[in-house]
């Protein structure tokens, strides 16, 4: 009888309001305002997009196209370094205690750990390093010769785009999505929550909370330790 090798189980994690208690986007907007890199009208527009995102109403592709066009021709390294410093100074403390514990549980079980987020690689990478997660599926901002092109690699890792990237990853790594987990807070992630066999709703937005109750999905509340007491983790380089 031929030997049948079992396929891998994946554990996919969203970032904002899931791995992180906070929304990193709103923190970045605050940072840009404090440092004089964003004006009042830009802040108002960005906060509108965040509100639309929270309620699953955002046209993510249109937003990303508009924002990234403004970065065309800029050097990548200075911004990447700035985001890395900002993450460690203003965001790393917000990693949820329960996220760390759940990630370790999946690691011990031999599951494949993956960050699956609409964020760009510049935020996703430091989160992955902090949690020692090798794989990250995110919205990839295009870079050419060390400069931003002003575009992203379509489709963006948002909504049905997350399913696209997860399915490609699963095919490459022999992951069984029907046996896999996805942890998320957002109604916009419904396509991916429905794609896996083990949907996990964490700190949900109002629309996802209502839907989870209708479908009988359990709802979990994850929180970060008080700021200043967060666990320090070993940082290692992970592939992009």
The model's pLDDT over 186-205, given as tens digits with 9 standing for 90+, comes to 999 999 999 999 999 999 99
Active site residue 16: yes
The mean pLDDT of 76-83, rounded to a whole number, is 95
* Residue 236 binned pLDDT confidence (cut-offs 50, 70, 90): very low
The mean pLDDT of 63-76, rounded to a whole number, is 91
The mean pLDDT of 19-44, rounded to a whole number, is 90
* Residue 104 binned pLDDT confidence (cut-offs 50, 70, 90): very high
The mean pLDDT of 64-78, rounded to a whole number, is 91
Please tell me which residue in 14, 111, 185, 205 is annotated as part of the active site.
14
Decide if pLDDT at 237 tops 70: no
Active site residue 14: yes
Structural domains in the chain?
10-220 (3.40.50.1000)
Q: What percent of the chain has pLDDT over 70?
A: 92
The whole-number pLDDT of residue 227 equals 80
More confident residue, 3 or 107: 107
The mean pLDDT of 167-195, rounded to a whole number, is 97
Which pTM value belongs to this model?
Answer: 0.89
**DSSP strands (E only) in 3-156:** 10-13, 112-120, 135-139, 141-144, 147-152
Segment among 9-18, 48-57, 104-113, 177-186 with least mean pLDDT: 48-57
CB 142 within 8 A of CB 124: no
Q: Is 31 helix (H, G, I), strand (E, B) or coil?
A: helix
End-to-end CA distance of the chain: 40
Tell me which residue has tokens 């785009």: 161
The whole-number pLDDT of residue 34 equals 92
Please give the Cα distance from 142 to 181 (Å, whole number). 29
Please tell me which residue in 16, 111, 185, 189 is annotated as part of the active site.
16
Segment among 46-50, 91-95, 180-184 with least mean pLDDT: 46-50
Decide if pLDDT at 225 tops 90: yes
Residue 99 CB-density burial (10 A; 0-12 exposed, 13-18 middle, 19+ buried): buried
Which of 98, 116, 126 has its CA nearest to residue 184? 116
3-state secondary structure 5-22: CCCECEEEECCECCCECC
* Residue 213 binned pLDDT confidence (cut-offs 50, 70, 90): very high
Backbone angles phi, psi at 48, to 5 degrees: -65, -45
């Amino acid at each position: 009888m031929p030997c049948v090798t079992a396929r891998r189980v994946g554990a996919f994690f969203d970032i904002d309001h899931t791995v992180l208690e906070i929304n990193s986007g709103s923190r970045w907007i605050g940072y840009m305002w404090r440092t004089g890199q964003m004006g009042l009208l830009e802040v108002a527009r960005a906060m509108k997009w965040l509100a639309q995102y929270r309620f699953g109403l955002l046209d993510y592709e249109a937003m990303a196209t508009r924002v990234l066009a403004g970065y065309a021709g800029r050097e990548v390294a200075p911004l990447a370094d700035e985001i890395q410093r900002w993450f460690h100074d203003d965001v790393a403390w917000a990693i949820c205690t329960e996220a760390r514990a759940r990630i370790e549980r999946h690691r011990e079980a031999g599951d494949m750990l993956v960050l699956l987020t609409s964020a760009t690689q510049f935020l996703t990478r430091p989160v992955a390093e902090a949690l020692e997660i090798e794989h990250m599926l995110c919205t990839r901002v295009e870079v050419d010769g060390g400069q931003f092109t002003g575009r992203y690699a379509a489709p963006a890792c948002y909504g049905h785009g997350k399913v696209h990237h997860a399915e490609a990853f699963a095919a490459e790594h022999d992951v069984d999505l029907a046996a896999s987990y996805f942890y998320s807070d957002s109604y916009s992630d419904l396509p991916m929550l429905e794609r896996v066999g083990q949907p996990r709703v964490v700190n949900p937005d109002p629309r996802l909370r209502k839907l989870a109750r209708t479908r009988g999905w359990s709802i979990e509340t994850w929180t970060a330790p008080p700021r200043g007491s967060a666990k320090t983790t070993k940082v290692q380089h992970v592939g992009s």
